[in-house]
Structure 1
Amino acid sequence: MDADSIRALVRKRYGERARQAEGGGAAPAGTDGLGAPSGCCGTAEGCCGGSASIVELSHVLGYSDSDLDAAPEGANLGLGCGNPHVIANLKPGETVLDLGSGAGFDCFLAARQVGENGRVIGVDMTPEMLERARRNAVAGGFRNVEFRLGEIEHLPVADQSVDVIISNCVINLSPEKEQVFREAFRVLRPGGRLAISDVVTAAPLPPEVQADVALYAGCVAGAATVDEVKAMLAAAGFEQIAVTPRASGQLLEQWGLDSSLAGQVFSATIEAVKPAR
């Protein structure tokens, strides 16, 4: 598929996930109109969620009970593959941008860390997710958080206006990752940093996996290799680049994926800095 078709697939799938969460039911059986099973990763239980509860999955990803309690009910849909806050080292007064903010969970955790003098911006291309996030912000009384509709390849954010960019299992979904990193570099202030959790691979995946549209929307088939991510970040201008995969067998099991992918697909932390000069 071309880039626009992939974005349409992802937008439709995550819009479905937002509506599913709203209604509290499982994703319907059948197809989503784009030739893929209606649940992410080919399951009916939910987007990248397998049969695990959101709380169980969140613990696997590295979130604590206090993290889960700090966000409004319904903000955490269990769609991540890690916890970017572990490496973000957010400070009071900073401006934070979340790429693919979903229902707002990581934004609300960031808002707590940057404080009243800080600011958090969430960008998401799915209107249903954006609507849910805005309602969550009102429900939680978060006045230092705003959510903007937009694509991460074309950020609705001013040049050099952000201190830290976080993201959780979203960049792998983009068909134009190089453009995502160029945009991230543009909006970061000199000395600004990336703190990302995402899916990477040890080597290019087999063609049949890359062609699986359900696995693409399920955060797997579109993942780049570690070396590719490093090269894209360097080409965008970043320095101090670190891509650190972690053992992800338990996560893939929670997602309900074939265990044969355990040695090929990993959750990773991705760090980089925009030069201060």
Structure 2
Amino acid sequence: MNTPTYDQIRRNVREHYEGVVTQSQLTSSCCQTKVSYDPVKDVAHVSAQLGYSKDELQSVPSGANLGLGCGNPQAIASLQPGENVLDLGSGAGFDCFLAARQVGENGRVIGVDMTPAMVSAARTHAENSGNTIVDFRLGEIEHLPVADETIDVIISNCVINLSPDKKQVFQEAYRVLRSGGRLAISDIVTTAELPFAIKNDTQDLYSGCISGASSIEELTTMMKQSGFTNILIQPKEDSKEFLKEWLPNTPIEDYIVSAVIQAVKA
């Protein structure tokens, strides 16, 4: 079997999420697969499972919440007024709009996404809502269109697992953070070796935030090598309840879990 290149993996992921936004799909998983897609799922219910409050869900522009994610990075980010925030894989802008509420008019929120349709949708939501704090940019999280040492906090919601070059993602995150800047990430980690058939599915299950996940040990090593300190990766055992819906009839929750990932740039 031929191993796909990094660009082929990115192309698969990009095409997948072009479909998500252009078809306005509602899904129960971070990154739904063809197997788990359920068009009758309620986005608000899904987001509540991920830890978002009713107030948060009602505060964002209509259409910004696509029900994508595996947690709520806002809950761990401790955002402060005036901070500059960067969202890796910002999608239609959901977490960016929530972050904008916290940093206020003296802060700034940048969202980076490699899917043109997602960036276009997010910009439309910002324009229609009159939000001038958010700035959505087209780009890859391995090659961020962001200047050195300009960011206070980096958030991300179930996106880094989609990158074929995670070490490069953390190196870029370190580059753009100011000294003392921090990571506040929700993502999928493996708790056991993935079965061969799952690990080698580089299309549906990779785009579905499953086969591209790394272990806590692997992520910790990459973050340390990139320069981060105070690294904390905390699995959320209760996430297994919604993970069961990602790949029905398969005990996927025995292999992956949602985790809180935090670190600091010294």
> What TM-score do the two structures reach when normalised by structure 1?
0.89
> Displacement, 1:207?
2.1
Name the residue aligned to 1:245.
235
1:90-109 alignment runs, 5 A limit: 90-109=79-98
**1:90-147: CA deviations, max 9, x gaps?**
0000000000000000000000000000000000000000000000001222111000
**1:126-182: CA deviations, max 9, x gaps?**
000000000000122211100000000000000000000000000000000000000
1:55-74 alignment runs, 5 A limit: 55-74=44-63
Q: 1:45 aligns with which of 37, 42, 51?
A: 37
For residues 162 and 77 of structure 2, the distance between their equivalents in structure 1, rounded to whole angstroms, comes to: 21
Indicate yes or no: 2:261 matched with 1:270. Answer: yes
Indicate yes or no: 2:107 matched with 1:118. Answer: yes
For residues 219 and 105 of structure 2, the distance between their equivalents in structure 1, rounded to whole angstroms, comes to: 34
SS in structure 2 at match of 1:17: helix
Gaps in structure 2 of 5+ consecutive residues: none
Name the residue aligned to 2:18.
15
Indicate yes or no: 2:80 matched with 1:80. Answer: no
- CA change 1:239–1:267 in 2 (3 A) is same
Name the residue aligned to 2:175.
186
Gaps in structure 1 of 5+ consecutive residues: 27-38
> Displacement, 1:258?
4.1
> Displacement, 1:222?
0.1
**1:208-241: CA deviations, max 9, x gaps?**
1111121100001000001111111101000000
Whether the 8 Å CA contact 1:204–1:224 is kept in 2: the answer is no
> Displacement, 1:249?
2.0
> Displacement, 1:25?
8.6
For residues 247 and 204 of structure 2, the distance between their equivalents in structure 1, rounded to whole angstroms, comes to: 13
SS in structure 2 at match of 1:80: coil
Stretches (4+) displaced over 4 A: none
For residues 222 and 35 of structure 2, the distance between their equivalents in structure 1, rounded to whole angstroms, comes to: 32
- Aligned residues with identical type, % of pairs: 54
Whether the 8 Å CA contact 2:51–2:71 is kept in 1: the answer is yes
For residues 41 and 107 of structure 2, the distance between their equivalents in structure 1, rounded to whole angstroms, comes to: 34
The AA in structure 2 aligned to 1:11 is R
Name the residue aligned to 1:134.
123
Name the residue aligned to 1:31.
none
For residues 26 and 59 of structure 2, the distance between their equivalents in structure 1, rounded to whole angstroms, comes to: 24
RMSD: 1.7
> What TM-score do the two structures reach when normalised by structure 2?
0.93
Q: How many residues align?
A: 258
